[in-house]
Amino acid sequence: MNVLTQPSTSRRIAEVKNKERQRALEEIIYCYIVQKFMERDIVMIPSLSTSSYPTGKVDSWPNQEQKLEAVHSPDALEMIQSHLSLVIGERFVGPIGSIVQISKLKLGKLYAASIMYGYFLKRVDERFQLERRMNSLPKSIQEVQLIDDMKPNPFWDMESMVQISPDGDVSEGEDGDDKQYRLRSYVMYLDAETLQRYATIPSKEAISLIEKQTQALFGRPDIRIAEDGSLDTSNDEVVGISLAGLTMLVLEAVAFGSFLWEAESDIETKYHFLTS
């Protein structure tokens, strides 16, 4: 009897240890991210609750747009502006102070997608800056369409990453100066497999943190299965937020994703927690 139960007991002990290890790593990564925000004097957005805002408008936080933009390189910031135009500009029209009504579920999806975008952008920007310093950027970049070759990601809209307007002539100048290359052109140069690798988060700790951070802000989505098998989101709470507040929300998420990549890669060098 003891022989039969010993493997099962050992397996449960191993599972408990793995969960404790994952929880500890998540805490280390999250503390790293929070420290990065604090170093830049950026106050993170608190949990959104209409009960805390009698007027129904939830974005009463200070404007930190310049601080959040300063997190990124000029090349990355250009792509972030395109991301903002895509996820906000084409969906909501009006003055920057206009109030829009949007469900917390949609806000949560937008926030999580923007974290993923910031994570991807930081990874690819590091490679781009390295190749620029080594003077190894490609001689010419041709526009390519990569969306069909990439696997869908449950967190975000893949088109916000790869549908980027071309820069026109980006071939190297006669003086050999490659500074005219832009990051968005470089992204279009990369093949689908490379893009997929850079857009994939390898650690379950980081994925768990994205989920927890999103739920901390917007709560757990109230989703039920209807009688016909469809998803019922009728109980999802609708909040009011200004376009300026929505922009801040996206910028914080992109910065969170950027810091997440820094934390994951830095901590991996110390603890080697990523599995191949």
Identify the weakest region by mean pLDDT among 70-79, 173-182, 216-225.
173-182
Structure tokens that stand for 265 in this block: 């890669």
Report the distance separating Cα 219 and Cα 239, nearest Å: 13
* 126 pLDDT above the threshold of 70: yes
Share of the chain above pLDDT 70, in %: 70
Report the distance separating Cα 163 and Cα 128, nearest Å: 18
pLDDT, residue 147, reads 42
Share of the chain above pLDDT 90, in %: 32
pLDDT, residue 166, reads 40
Residue scoring higher pLDDT (231 or 178): 231
Report the distance separating Cα 94 and Cα 243, nearest Å: 8
Q: Which residues, 6+ apart, have CB-to-CB distance to 2 below 8 Å?
A: none
Distances (CA, A) of 273 to 125, 209, 268: 24, 15, 6
For residue 99, what are the β-bridge partners?
242
The string of pLDDT tens digits covering residues 152-175 is 444 444 444 433 344 443 333 334
Contact predicate 138/127, CB 8 Å: no
pLDDT, residue 203, reads 87
List the alpha helices (DSSP H) in the chain: 2-39, 65-69, 74-84, 104-133, 159-162, 183-189, 192-199, 204-218, 243-271
pLDDT, residue 165, reads 40
Q: Average pLDDT of the chain?
A: 78
Break the chain into its structural domains and give their ranges. Answer: 2-271
Q: What is the mean pLDDT of residues 177-206?
A: 81
> 42 — phi, psi (to 5°)?
-105, 125
Residue scoring higher pLDDT (132 or 145): 132
pLDDT, residue 150, reads 47
Q: What is the mean pLDDT of residues 66-70?
A: 95
Structure tokens that stand for 220 in this block: 């757990």
Q: What is the dihedral of CA 58, 40, 119, 206, to 10 degrees?
A: -80
- pTM of this prediction? 0.80
